[in-house]
Structures are given as C-alpha cells and as structure tokens.
Structure 1
Amino acid sequence: MKRCVGFTFLFFCASIIVSGTVFADSPIVRQNYDEFRDNRDGNDHSSVTDEAGMAELYLVSARKSIEQGDNATAVRYLNSGRKLAPDDGRFSLLLGDLYARSGDELLAEKYLLEAVSQLPASDLPVRRLGDLYYQAGNLPAARDVLIKAQQISPGDLDLQKQIKQVQREIEVEEAMVQDVNSIFTVTFDERTHAELADRVIEILQVAYAEQGSLLNHYPQKTVQVILYSRDDYDMTTGAPAWSAGRFDGKIRIPIGTRRVEAADLDRILTHEYNHFLAQQISRGRAPAWIYEGTAMTAENHPRSRSTHFSEAIAQGKLLGFAELEQSFDRFERRQALLAYEQSFSFVAYLVNQFGWHSLKDLLNAYGRGLATPEAFASVFNGFGLDFPTLVEEWRAGL
C-alpha cells in the first residue's frame, strides 16, 4: 500500500567543513553562545563587553546557521562579524565557502583571496581556492594554487595526490575543446567526440528539467562534463574497468571508440547528473547506496535487469547496508552489480511508499549531518517507522 505524507521542501545549504585551530571556539563563545542564540535580533548582549567577543559570537552563530541549513542568516552573521573584525580571515573563508557552494564563483573568489592574505599560515583557504578553480574547470590556476598550499604544508600527502591528479587532467584535456551553455560545460576531444557534444547538452538539459522536478532542486551552479577516451578515463579517474561514468564534482564519461548508443548515453548522463543533485542536497554526506539507488530510480532502471539481486534473494546472500556505505568502486564487477541492484530496490521501495518528497527530506537530513538511523527517524518517525523496520518491511516484500 502506498503511504502519503505531507510535503516538506528544504533547500540546499553549503557544506562547510571546519576543524583545527582556525575555527576553535574561544571560551567567550562557550560561555555566551546560548544567551546570544536566544536573542537572534541582536538587541541585548550585555554579557559580551568587547567587540572581539561579539565577533566570536557572530562567527560561531554563522557556523550554527550553516549546520542548520540557514545560509541567509549565516551570511548576515558573517558580514556583521567582519565589520567588527575586518582582518579576521575566518569570516572571509566561510563566506568564500558559502558562495562557492552556491555557485557564485566571483564572490567566492573574492572572499577566498581575501582569506588567503589574512590567514597566511593556514593552507585551508588556499586549498579552498584551488577547489574553486578546479570545479570551475580552470585547471592551471587550480594546480598553481595547490602548489602554494603544498609550500605551506609540504608533508601533506593528500595535497601531493591532488596536484598529480590535476596535472594528469591538464595533460589529458589540453587537446580538448569546450561547448558551453548556461548550466553545462562539456569538454571533449574535437577529433573524436565533436558529434556527441550537442547531443550531450540536449540530454543534460532534459535531465535538468526532469530530475530537478523529481527532487525539486534546480541548481544554478555550472556543471562540468568531460568526455574521455576509455584509456584517458581510466588514467584520470582510476575507476574500475566496469565503470561507465563517474561523478566526483564533475561528470566524467568514457566514450571509447565504438559508436555510443543513444539510450546508453541518455541513461549514463541522467544517472551521473542525479548524483550531482543528490550530493548537493545532502552536502555529500549520504551513503553510497542512497546515491546509487536514487540515480537508478530516477533513470527508471528496469527491474527485469536485476538478475544478480534476484539470485542473492534466492540464495539468502543480500548485502548488509553497512557494506554499501562507501563507493562501490572497491567491488569486483559481480558484487558491484549486486550492490547497485540492491540499492535500487530499497530506494525504489521508499519512493513507491512515501514519494520523492520524502526521499528529498531524507537527503536533507543527511545534509544536516545525521547518521542513517537518525536521518530515517527524522523523516519516518511520524509513521512509527525507523531504518531497521523499513529494511525489514522491504525484505519481507521481496
């Protein structure tokens, strides 16, 4: 039986990850934040006796607002704090992050450059600036900025890997050209993939409307799409041989030398674009099975093709969802197919029972930092259901 539930539409908030001494809360914040929170209009903060203390309260209040998904309030707090502490780079860094995640590259660059100059001993603003250039497709600028970050943190192995990755992409993409529209930028080898570029943009424009309708989410941020030869795709992404596409902040598709069937290209692009939407809504915090199941449900994956899943049901060898938290890239092909099919089955069950709006509420719950049990409780508690109960009901109906 299909359950109905009222609509709750929440909007995406930028994911801000802050740690270490740059964002450590001062004693005055711990002492006075509760009082400050209770009076959000800022009319009476008698316990805060200096501008530095007030600036700290604006900073932590902005961070709390970001965690709660309230970007507008966060920006207001950050701008108020900057007026009191104009040389404190933490305000600029958070503003840069917020604008980067919302797709405003110009304001993001402005504030991140400001943070770089204000926090010269920290590699965090430099790395954020490198990420901004990378996502915008400006690979040489990203490489140069990341090299500066490495000079600040010379022993950081992750930075070294990032720089090598960017350099590999520069070498692969230097012979490519770009086709740009208002939302999508497609990069491709003009010698082999020129005829596909227009078709790719057409497919993605349809996906923008249809997938956006399912999740009520229409991002304005430019989406980078790169079409590779199979060899270049393997070298750049390190994906397993069975991989037909990848989303890691950019949509990457191996085209190969054979003619790509229209239905296959449509399905793969739609799948990867759905990853873009779901990861924006959840701020990249949901488990892999949610992302893969959502994308396959959205692409109308035919249940008749779920042969590995059917065999696992018959043999009592379904995977535990804890095994499906991380990327499926680590699986060999047969186990990967089971992981995809099982994820699809459970997410399709949730959509059929509760609707796409409830799935979006679930993605938003993950975006607030909730783990799976708490995320499911926040959405389905009104039905008296939790994650184990829903899994049990789903399995009973297989």
Structure 2
Amino acid sequence: MLLLACLTGTALAGDQVSYSAQAQTLLQGGDPDQAVEVLKKGFSLFPYDLQLKAQLAGALSAAGELKLKQNRYSEAADSFSQAKELFPQRGDFGFMRGIALYLGKDYDGARTEFQEAGDVAPALIYLGKISYDTGDLPGALALWRRAKEKDPDNQSIQALIDKAERELPVENKMDKGYSSMFDLSFDAELPPGLSAEVLDALESAYNTVCADLNYFPTTRVPVLLYTKSDYRSVTAGPDWSGGLYDGKIRLPVGNATTLTKQMRAVIFHEFTHVVIAEITRNNIPTWLNEGLAEIEGRREFGHPTVELSRAAKEDKVIPLSFLSGSFMAMNGNEAGLAYQESYSVANFLVSRYGWYAVQEILKNLRERNSIDDAVAKALSSYSMDLTGVMREWRDSLK
C-alpha cells in the first residue's frame, strides 16, 4: 500500500509538471489562449498547486495583452478579469482590465479599476482621459496635474495638460445641447437656432452613415462648435481644415446664423470618422478613411474634382502609399488633390463592389490586417486585390 501511494504521488506530480511544461511551450510559441486552456485543465485537477495557479494567471494576462493588440477589447477585459480573480492582490491585472475597458469605451467599469489602483500617475492619467472623453475638462485637467506631481518628468502628461489648458478657456464660455447620441458644446454668442440645426444634422448623419457602414455606435459623441479663431487656437490645424475628429467632433462655424449645405456636409464627413474609428480601431489608411468620409459629405454638398482630372491627364496622380499617413502637413493645393483622389478611389470601390465589400474591408482592418490583405480577403470572390482595384480605378479615370 505504501509503495502504491508513492507511485501514485509520483504520477500525480508528473502530471502537474507536464501541464506546466506544455503550457510553457505554447506560451513561447505565441499561443496564450491554448496555454490558458491547458492550465485551466491542470488547475482543475490540482486546485491547490500554487505554481499552476500563478502560471494560469500569467497566461491569462498574456492572452489579454495579445487581444489588446488585436483590438478585441471586451475579450481582453475578460482575460484580465479572470487573472484578477485568481490573484486579487495583483494590482496590475485590474489596471490592465481598466485599459481594456477604457479602449472599449466602458468608462464606468474602467473608472472603477483605475480608482482601485490608487493615487498613482498611470491610474490618474487614465482617469483624466475618462473625464476628458466624457466632457469633464476641468476634472481631467485636475487629474493630469496631480499625475504630473507624481511623475514630473513624464512629458506625455505635460502634453495632455497643455492640450486641456488650450481648450478650457474656450469651453468655459460654451453652452450645452443634447440629443439621443450627441453632447453639443457651442459658443453662447452663436444664434440660438444654429445649435438645434446642428443636432438635427448629426442625427441625420447617424442614421445615414451607420446604415451605409452597418455599424451603430452606442457611446455618446461629444461635438464642439467654435468661432474660427477659437478653432485655430484649440486644434492648431492647417488653414484649409474645415473640421476635425480627434475623439471629439470639432467644427468651426464662424459667424454663421444658419446651417449651410457646406456645414452640413462637414458634419456628415466628421461623423463618418467617428464610425470608422470604432469599426477599425483606427487601423485604416488615411486615403480610405477620408475617402469614405468624403462620400458621405459630398451627398450633402458636392465638390468638383478639377485637380484630380488635371493630375490624371498629366499622369501626376499621387501614389496611395503617400496618402496612407496624415494630410495635416500638406498645403491647400496638395490637400485638395489628396482629398479628391481619396474620394475617387473610395467611391470607385463602393460603385464597383458595393457597400457590403467596403464593410468587409473595414472588418478585416479591425482584425489588424494590412490594407492589402483586408482588400484581398473582402474581394476574394472577385479574385481581386488592391493592386487590381487601383489598376481598374486608373483605367476609369481615362
């Protein structure tokens, strides 16, 4: 009996070691999800083995980090939550869960995690971001200043403070308006009817753009209306900029007394960026982002494409690789051609292959595919890739 017990104990110990070794191999091979499954099975058999418990928590955390990189925020939050359940005393698991919730725009859940992290700079930074994103600019500034006291050499905190300090004097004099999905802030001196027209246009944009892209955001969208001088001081954008989306829709309205067709077009354009950002998690080349936004805006107010026609005749069309990054450093003429070309390519995609194909491209981008792979997967039934699309598009210009 004693010998049998010893042999059984040796076998059990060996099984524990084998679960651990198998999981380690999977982790080293970049498959934390499978490692989690192996360790969960082992831990269910040996629930008092602290090494397996710690290894399982680590694998869950690794799986969460991988899902964060893949923009699978709710799944990442679940992985970190499971790790936290195993070791509630480990503050890093809760903090990472907070980041996943914040990126997924679950601000209430994220706030709870960051508050539990204590009065430390990283948590204060994210708490400030939540305040900023939900329209509490003074609260955000106070949190970032406290974070700066904790970490005075952190230049990223100072950049957040500088941005908030530019915006606060302008927003302090703003009135508020609300609709089902939008929180509007506007200069109190603007005509009272203008804000209502803007909210109505935003709701129309929500219905139209979301239907085209088959995606309906549920998080409220902050929108700010500026005088032109305030817009320049807050955004530091180029002179040709007629609007901006940086997590908030920012629109210069100047001395307008009523909503013009041009302004309505800008509203549709900028709201398109809101939807695309949520679908793709910002993994999208600028030409496609701006091109789709131009499609929606030009339905409200069309623009000629003189520069593109001239560039096509002179064989001076801008390569797509040059249109993948920001347009903000371009001068007015360069930007004009960049927007026209982006619109033309995106409109060609929609006209030739339909909105469903574009929706599939955006979904593929959300999965962190490159634009080439995203297009090839979406257009596989046509045996078409981005190179082929561009060849067809150039032929269409002729």
TM-score, length basis structure 1: 0.85
Q: Specify the SS of the correspondent of 1:335.
A: helix
Q: Return the match for 1:30 from 27, 30, 34.
A: 27
Unaligned 5+ runs, structure 1: 1-25
Partner of 2:111: 109
Query: Is the 8 Å Cα contact of residues 198 and 259 (structure 2) preserved in structure 1?
Result: no
Quote the offset at 1:200 in angstroms.
1.0
Q: How does 1:42-81 map to 2 (within 5 A)?
A: 43-45=40-42, 49-68=51-70, 70-81=72-83
| SS of equivalent residue, structure 2 residue 117 | helix
% of aligned pairs identical? 26
Match of residue 268 from structure 1: 266
What corresponds to 1:204 in structure 2? Answer: 202
Structure 2: stretches of 5+ with no match in the other structure: 1-22
Letter matched to residue 373 of structure 1? D
Deviates more, 1:221-230 or 1:45-54: 45-54
Q: Distance in 1 between matches of 2:272 and 2:387?
A: 26
Q: Equivalent residue of 1:319, what SS? A: coil
1:238 aligned partner, one-letter code: A
Deviates more, 1:142-151 or 1:301-310: 301-310
Match in the other structure for 1:380: 379
Give the count of matched residue pairs.
369
Correspondence list, 1:255-294, <5 A: 255-294=253-292
For residues 256 and 364 of structure 2, what CA distance do their matches in structure 1 show?
42
- For the residues of structure 1 that align with 2:229 and 2:66, how far apart are their CA atoms? 45
SS at 2:184 equivalent: strand
Higher helix residue share: 2
130-139 vs 63-72, which deviates more?
63-72
Residues 284 and 33 (structure 1), Cα distance of their counterparts in 2 relative to 1, 3 Å cut: closer
Structure 2 match to 1:14: none
- The whole-number CA distance in structure 1 between the counterparts of 2:78 and 2:346 is 37
After superposition, give the CA deviation of every residue in 1:318-345 in whole Å (9 maximum; x if it has no partner).
1111111222111111110100000000
- Displacement of 1:377: 2.6
Could you tell me whether the CA contact under 8 Å between 1:36 and 1:45 is conserved in 2? no
Helix, strand or coil at the partner of 1:253:
strand
Residue aligning to 2:86: 84
Separation (CA, whole Å) in 1 of partners of 2:307 and 2:30 = 53
Letter in 2 for 1:112: F
Q: Cα distance, 1:156 vs. partner?
A: 3.2
Give the secondary-structure state (helix, strand or coil) at the position aligned to 1:244. coil
- Which 4+ residue blocks in structure 1 deviate beyond 4 angstroms? 26-29, 38-43, 66-72, 301-304
Contact 2:73 2:104 in 1 (8 A): no
| In structure 1, distance between residues paired with 2:183 and 2:38 | 42
AA at the equivalent of 2:366 = G
Partner SS for 1:329: coil
SS of the counterpart of 1:305?
A: coil
Give the superposition deviation at 1:98. 3.3
Contact 1:58 1:78 in 2 (8 A): yes
For 2:327, the equivalent position in structure 1 comes to 328
Q: Which has the higher contact order (CA 8 A, sep 6+)?
A: 1
CA shift for structure 1 position 141: 1.4
SS at match of 1:187: strand
> How much does 1:235 deviate?
0.3
Question: Alpha carbons of 1:389 and 1:124: their partners in 2 closer, same or farther (altered >3 Å)?
Answer: farther
Matches within 5 A, 1:1-398: 30-31=27-28, 34=31, 36-37=33-34, 40=37, 43-45=40-42, 49-68=51-70, 70-116=72-118, 120=120, 123-301=121-299, 305-398=304-397
Residue 352 of structure 1 and its aligned partner are, at CA, apart by 1.3
* CA contact 2:63–2:76 (8 Å) conserved in 1: yes
Offset of 1:193 from its aligned partner?
A: 4.2
Question: Deviations for 1:341-362, whole angstroms, at most 9, x for unmatched residues?
Answer: 0000001111112222221222
CA–CA distance in 1 between the matches of 2:277 and 2:331?
Answer: 24
How far, CA to CA, are the matches of 2:146 and 2:203 in structure 1?
Answer: 37
1:177 counterpart SS class: strand
Q: Which amino acid aligns with 2:235?
A: T
Residues 108-117 or 79-88, more deviating: 108-117
Q: Secondary structure at the match of 1:328?
A: coil
- TM-superposition CA deviations, 1:136-167 (whole Å, max 9, x none): 11111111222233334433333322211101
Classify 1:264/1:79 alpha carbon distance in 2 versus 1 (closer, same or farther; 3 Å).
same
Q: Which moved further from structure 2: 55-64 or 135-144?
A: 55-64
SS at match of 2:380: helix
Q: State the distance in 1 between where 2:377 and 2:92 align.
A: 32
Residues 27 and 38 (structure 1 numbering): CA distance in 2 closer, same or farther, change over 3 Å?
closer
Kindly state the Cα deviation for residue 103 of structure 1 after the two structures are TM-superposed: 3.4
Q: What CA distance in whole angstroms lies between the structure 2 residues aligned with 1:110 and 1:35?
A: 27
SS of corresponding position for 1:185: strand
For normalisation by structure 2, the TM-score amounts to 0.85
